[in-house]
Amino acid sequence: MQSKYLKKALSLFPCLVKVLHHKFAPSDFELTDKLYRGYTRADIDDESQLLQANSIRFPDFSCNWNLFSRPKDIRKRINGKPTDGCYSFPVAIARYNKMATTCHDPLPQMFAHTEIRQLRPNEDIYFEPPPKRDLYKEIDGWSRSKRFNYRQNIVNNHVIELEAER
């Protein structure tokens, strides 16, 4: 696969990224690739000290792809703060029950920017849904409880890469 070689070259030579402005497809993500997501202390439950499922916005939320990013880059995002923490989860978790897929959405200041976009039940995980499309949550096949289970699966499978500070 040619994109695999391009992916490897871009990860070894990040300066090529700015020149090429290459956008990867959902099929270019490996299931084991990590996605980095920022969080604050407010996203942690005071009693259990665990990430709260309701702190994860779904459908559609942003992450950074580990191929072109490090956990501390979360603090450099728009509205990022030096006290923000970072957790990660693999692409396989983002594609839980074929409810969502990874869409590389490079920004001028962050090539690693990736959106996790909700799929409709009849869409393939390699389909790239348009950004900010209207989804009627119940009508599009994913009930409130299924969407909560999706978020809870991230909570159950995330790894803290960088602790949020107070």
pLDDT tens per residue, range 35-90: 999 999 999 998 998 999 999 987 789 999 999 999 999 998 888 899 999 999 99
Q: Mean pLDDT, the chain, as a whole number? A: 87
Where does the pLDDT of residue 117 fall: very low under 50, low under 70, confident under 90, or very high at 90 and above? very high
How many Cα atoms occupy the beta-carbon half-sphere of 119 within 13 Å? 20
Quote the number of domains for the chain. 1
Domain that holds residue 99: 2-162
**Residue of 142, 147, 115 lying closest to 131 (CA atoms):** 115
Residue-level pLDDT at 112: 92
Q: What is the sign, positive or negative, of the torsion defined by CA atoms of 78, 82, 85, 87? A: positive
Residue-level pLDDT at 143: 83
| Three-state DSSP class for residue 148 | helix
* Residue 21: both structure tokens together: 């402005």
